Amino acid sequence: QYRELLKTEGVLLEFTENAIEEIAEIAYTVNSQTENIGARRLHTIMEKLLEEMLFDAPEVVQKKIVIDHNYVQKRLGSIVSNEDLSRYIL
């Protein structure tokens, strides 16, 4: 869904295998620590992960973006490690 959305702006979005695994692990962890809302958690995580990219897509110079484990950790790591933040943000 996000791939197709960004494609309308001419941006090719790709995820590495370890990024997908990290996103799934974060969804599982936050669901375990807070209210378990199932797959809806994945939606909020993806929104938080890609919010800057979605906002800036029309101005993006780099037309191919690869989301890897490091990017996921950079964008979500501090939120996940703080249970209070993850409760309200994710």
Q: What is the pLDDT of residues 11-66, one digit of tens each?
A: 899 999 999 999 999 999 888 888 787 888 888 899 999 998 888 777 777 789 99
Q: CA 48, CA 28: separation in Å to the nearest integer?
A: 16
Which CATH number characterizes residue 65's domain? Answer: 1.10.8.60
* pLDDT (0 to 100) of residue 24: 94
Tokens, residue 39: 């797959």
* pLDDT (0 to 100) of residue 2: 87
* pLDDT (0 to 100) of residue 80: 76
Burial of 78: CB neighbours in 10 Å, binned 0-12, 13-18, 19+:
exposed
The conformation of residue 63, written as its DSSP 8-state character, comes to S
Domains contained in the chain, number: 1
* pLDDT (0 to 100) of residue 30: 87
Burial of 59: CB neighbours in 10 Å, binned 0-12, 13-18, 19+:
exposed
Confidence grade of residue 67 (pLDDT, cut at 50, 70, 90): very high
Note down the domain range covering 49.
Answer: 2-89
pTM given for the model: 0.79
* pLDDT (0 to 100) of residue 73: 94
* pLDDT (0 to 100) of residue 88: 56
